[in-house]
Amino acid sequence: MGLLDGKVCFVTGAGRGIGEETVRRFAEEGAIVYGTDLINGSMDESFGKFCTQYKTEVIPMYFDVTDETASKSAIMQIKREQGRLDVLVNNAGIMQDNVIGMISYELMKKVFDVNVFAVLQITQLAAKLMMRQRSGSIVNISSIVGSEGAAGQTVYSASKGAVAAMTKAASKELSPYGIRVNAVAPGLINTDLFRAIGEKKIQENLSHVRMGRLGEPIDVANVITFLASDMSAYVTGEIIGVDGETHV
């Protein structure tokens, strides 16, 4: 028996990093998993492998989460093919920033479009289905900087703070329908997004992690799996840190 046997799950930003590892863990636990990412074909190989390895359905869908029409079609496709949606993981996110004084309005809008508005929109679409079922689990990906902030990351920090706040608000509104809404707040996780800051900065940042190592995508995916599963049936409105005691 897997933790997610038969559950229908949807993971955004599933092409690499935390999203891809979450899809793998979900499949390993017996879920039927839909994943979306931007680049056509980028998930075909990994998803094919997960299907064979875990003997379940792992289905790629290619679209930009900021595309409202495409997001709606994706949720409708899941409804048509499976009749339900048990788990939504709002993982797709971008980290782009600049120092105060140099932040363009365009950059603010771009980051908030992906990290905040798309999360709100896809949550609404998924919640409609889940409300009818009177069950569901939504897991958002915030960040340690969403509560602590980081110099040079005002926009990204603000967007992740918004994710934490919307998690709490949505949890209050949706719990009467049996829908749980939680978030994870990762610290420094060893993915392409994080590694883009460069080796020198990575080493500097590592000195702020009391556990003395970067987190791996599986460290985050395991907590997401717990929040997606019935193991956390009475947990909602929580922001769970996955940071090995990091001080930003």
- By CB under 6 A, tell whether 38 contacts ligand NAD: yes
Note whether 153 binds ligand NAD by CB under 6 A: no
Q: What are phi and psi of 137, to 5 degrees?
A: -135, 125
> Least distance (Å) from ligand NAD to the CB of residue 205?
9
Q: Which two tokens stand for residue 191?
A: 């993915």
For residue 228, state whether it binds ligand NAD (rule: CB under 6 A). Answer: no
- Positions 99 through 118 that interact with ligand NAD (CB under 6 A): 114
Stretch 72-101 residues interacting with ligand NAD (CB under 6 A): 91-95
**Residue 38: what residue type?**
L
- Residue 17 and residue 46 in contact, taking contact as beta carbons nearer than 8 Å: no
Q: Which residue number, 91 or 135, has a Cβ lying nearer to ligand NAD?
A: 91
Among 78, 162, 188, 223, binds ligand NAD (CB under 6 A): 188
Nearer to ligand NAD, 133 or 147 (CB): 147
Residue number with CB closer to ligand NAD (19 or 136): 19
Rounded to the nearest whole angstrom, what is the least distance from the CB of residue 119 to ligand NAD in the complex? 9
170, 126, 167, 177: which is closest to 143 by C-alpha?
A: 167
Query: Of 217, 190, 216, 204, which is closest to residue 247 (Cα–Cα)?
Result: 204
Q: How far is the CB of 95 from ligand NAD (least distance, A)?
A: 6
DSSP state of 212: S
Shortest CB 129 distance to ligand NAD, Å: 20
DSSP assignment of 114-164: IIIIHHHHHHHHHHHHHHHHT-EEEEEE--THHHH--TT-HHHHHHHHHHH
Walk across the sheet containing 179-186 and list its strands. 58-62, 32-37, 8-12, 87-90, 136-141, 179-186, 239-242
Stretch 192-211 residues interacting with ligand NAD (CB under 6 A) = 192-194
Is residue 143 involved in binding ligand NAD (CB under 6 A)? yes
User: For 95, how many CA atoms within 13 A lie in the half-sphere containing its CB?
Assistant: 19
Q: How far is the CB of 44 from ligand NAD (least distance, A)?
A: 14
Contact flag: residue 223 with ligand NAD (CB under 6 A):
no
Toward ligand NAD, which CB reaches closer, 129 or 183?
Answer: 183
> Applying CB under 6 A, which residues contact ligand NAD?
12-13, 15-19, 36-38, 64-66, 91-95, 114, 141, 143, 186, 188-189, 191-194
